[in-house]
Amino acid sequence: MVSLTFFREFTMDISANPARPSLVGRLRAAVEVKPLNLKPYEKSWLGYVYLAPGLLIYLVFIFIPILNTFRLSFHNWTGFTEPVFNGLDNYIELAGNQRFWSALFNNFFFVIFFTIIPILIGLFITSLLTRTHISGLTAYRVGLFIPQVMSTVAVGIIWRWMLNPRFGPLNVMLRSIGLEALARPWLGDFTWAPYAVGAIGAWVGYGFTMVLFVAGVQSINPELYDVARVFGANPWQEFRYVTLPGLRRQIVVAFVIRFIAAMRIFDLVYVTTEGGPGGITRVVSYELWQNAFQVNKAGYAAAMAVVLTTIILLVSFITLRIQARLAYDED
């Protein structure tokens, strides 16, 4: 992904500069910069010394555990006894387990709320802001971003209150306007609980996408909007042909980040529904936590972690590749 970022910057660099210096000139500049990096103080072992303390902690507490998760996923391990190799048994059990599939399905269902809806809201708001100058934008931004700083546990508890059957504002409002029949214990309702959890995810997400997109729009060349107007583009065409292509990178990034958030839901389900009622809001991370730490099936849970990681990496990678491809085609 590092090389990808570099590639992107490189291509953007070219497109940003209309003069387009010759390739030879660019290469020469690159070569000329090089000797500057070779400083007399640079003894090669010094780099290792500076890296060592942090890298050691990182290797012990993150990197090696990741490798061990992979290893343990092929073992029968209670978390307390010696792990016993059992080949693909954990994965076979996973593939045949209805609970796991329903949890995975729910994660993908939550992508609609955690990912798609915030992106749509963000684009809608951004489209309003491209044609007009809005005063006090900073104040809006600061307020809209607040859910990003809050602990997810706090968010979940605040929404438990919002959706409280008796005292929650939603039901109180429904009753006061005579829609008593619609009031229900949202988070405990067999039909509505997934939508209620999803709505909380959308609430957390839209501030992020809005701020990301609005910042992105500011880096779109204003001349493009002028040109669009000269050609008599209506607001939709302006959005479709100027704003949307200009925000492609932000949209892709928002998708990847919010997709990962949807795949990793844990805290929110833990405090709002605990996977209930009847398992309809069960998610993979919650299953994983229960199996590893409640019922001593740590090896099986490790297989779940491997599957989850694979899905996250695969989708992120494919999305970023598509975006790089599109950027490349355009140049």
Partner 1 sequence: MNTAAKPSILPRNLSTHIILSLFLLAAVMPLIGTLLTSFKDPTDLAASPFALPREWHFENYEKAWSQARFGDYFVNSIVVVVAVVGISVFLTVLSGYAMGLLKFRGKALINIMILVGLMVPFEAVIIPLWGLMRDLKLYNTIWSLILPQVALSFSFGTFWMQAYFKGVPGDIVDAAVIDGCTSWSMLWRVLFPMAQPSILSMVVLLFIWTWNEFLLVLVMIQKDSLRTLPVGLASLQGRFSTDLSLVAAATVIVTVPTLIVYFIFQRQFISGMISGALRG
Structure tokens at 182: 């619609």
Out of 27, 95, 150, 314, the residue judged to bind partner 1 by CB under 8 A? 150
Structure tokens at 151: 């602990």
According to the binding rule CB under 8 A, does residue 306 interact with partner 1? yes
Spatial distance between the Cα atoms of 291 and 298, rounded to a whole number of angstroms: 6
Taking the least distance from each CB to partner 1, the nearer of 109 and 209 is 209
According to the binding rule CB under 8 A, does residue 134 interact with partner 1? yes
Considering only CA atoms, which of 106, 115, 152 is closest in space to residue 278? 106
Helix (H) or strand (E) holding 52: helix 44-58
Taking the least distance from each CB to partner 1, the nearer of 27 and 128 is 128
Out of 14, 27, 66, 318, the residue judged to bind partner 1 by CB under 8 A? 66
Q: Following DSSP, what letter does each residue of 241-255 receive, concatenated?
A: IIIHHHTHHHHHHHH
Residues 10-49 that bind partner 1 (CB under 8 A): 36-42, 44-48
Taking the least distance from each CB to partner 1, the nearer of 20 and 58 is 58
Q: Which class for 328: exposed (0-12), middle (13-18), buried (19 or more C-beta within 10 A)?
A: exposed
According to the binding rule CB under 8 A, does residue 315 interact with partner 1? no
Which one of 102-110, 136-144, 181-189, 225-233 is the stretch in contact with partner 1 (CB under 8 A)?
Answer: 136-144
Taking the least distance from each CB to partner 1, the nearer of 19 and 228 is 228
According to the binding rule CB under 8 A, does residue 62 interact with partner 1? yes
Q: Following DSSP, what letter does each residue of 97-112 receive, concatenated?
A: -HHHHHHHHHHHHHHI
The neighbouring-strand residues paired with 85 are: 75
Out of 86, 91, 116, 140, the residue judged to bind partner 1 by CB under 8 A? 140
Spatial distance between the Cα atoms of 303 and 88, rounded to a whole number of angstroms: 9
Taking the least distance from each CB to partner 1, the nearer of 18 and 40 is 40
According to the binding rule CB under 8 A, does residue 69 interact with partner 1? yes
Report which residue type is found at 146.
I
Spatial distance between the Cα atoms of 247 and 124, rounded to a whole number of angstroms: 13
Q: What mask, x for binding partner 1 by CB under 8 A, covers residues 90 to 119?
A: ------------------------------
Minimum distance of partner 1 from residue 233's CB (angstroms) = 16
Considering only CA atoms, which of 119, 127, 130, 142 is closest in space to residue 254? 119
The neighbouring-strand residues paired with 84 are: 76
Which one of 64-72, 90-98, 182-190, 321-329 is the stretch in contact with partner 1 (CB under 8 A)?
Answer: 64-72
According to the binding rule CB under 8 A, does residue 65 interact with partner 1? yes
Residues 174-233 that bind partner 1 (CB under 8 A): 203, 206-208, 210-212, 215
Out of 17, 22, 98, 132, the residue judged to bind partner 1 by CB under 8 A? 132
Phi, psi of 155 (to 5 degrees): -60, -45
Residues 236-295 that bind partner 1 (CB under 8 A): 249-250, 253-254, 256-257, 260, 263-264, 266-267, 270-271, 285, 288-289, 292-293
C-alpha dihedral (109, 288, 259, 149), degrees to nearest 10: 110
